[in-house]
Amino acid sequence: MAADKKRGAQAVRDMVLSLVVIILAAGVIYLFVPHDEDDKSNPAVKTVGYGVELKSARRAAPYPVAAPVGLPKEWRATSVHYTADGPKGAAWHLGFMTPDNEYAAVEQGDGPRRTAYIEEVTQGARKTSATQRVGDEEWERWKGDKYDALVRPAGAESAEDGDGGKGGKGGDEGAAGGSREARHPVTVVTGTATFDQLATLAESLEAKRETVQTDTGRS
């Protein structure tokens, strides 16, 4: 019996020693394998390209689609999509991570329920009495528990579209009766980023439409 107990104790000790050796070996390997700890970017967030989606949206959307031009390279695009016809109307989304890993997104929609749309894309933000100057335009400031936002109301679109015109007047909830081509989108720049960062993104935006060239053939 004593011999059995001794062998059992020896086996347990051998297992513990083996485990210690494995842990030490893993630690040595970890020390000598390169890591990205000094990289301030968030590796869990994948960077995406959006050139193809942007071009397609600018061809399909009934309004000038906004995207940044000259935004610092530290801003990383992380999400992009365009919905042609849904509850929000024609809706464009382009999301970014800021240099300090905050979220900021461009949202455009031409649906009739302007206020409901803004509240949805801003996660429940509410309009304040303050405005913020971005370039030559005044944007509304919205504040929320999760996201803040800068909002350019429908009808404030200043960029020329691909047809060479400014477009007609924008609409709010009362614009539901107008045709899609007669409405302009509300543009929202929103996220966890500061208002200064949101303004940086808003100021970089260029809104354009692209016409689809068709071959009419010869008679």
Distances (CA, A) of 22 to 16, 28, 73, 159: 10, 10, 43, 64
The 3-state DSSP class for residue 108 equals strand
Average pLDDT over residues 44-71: 93
- The DSSP call for residue 154 is T
Task: Judge contact between 95 and 79, C-beta under 8 A.
Answer: yes
Average pLDDT over residues 185-190: 96
Q: Is the pLDDT of residue 49 over 50?
A: yes
pTM comes to 0.69
Query: Residue 87's pLDDT is what?
Result: 76
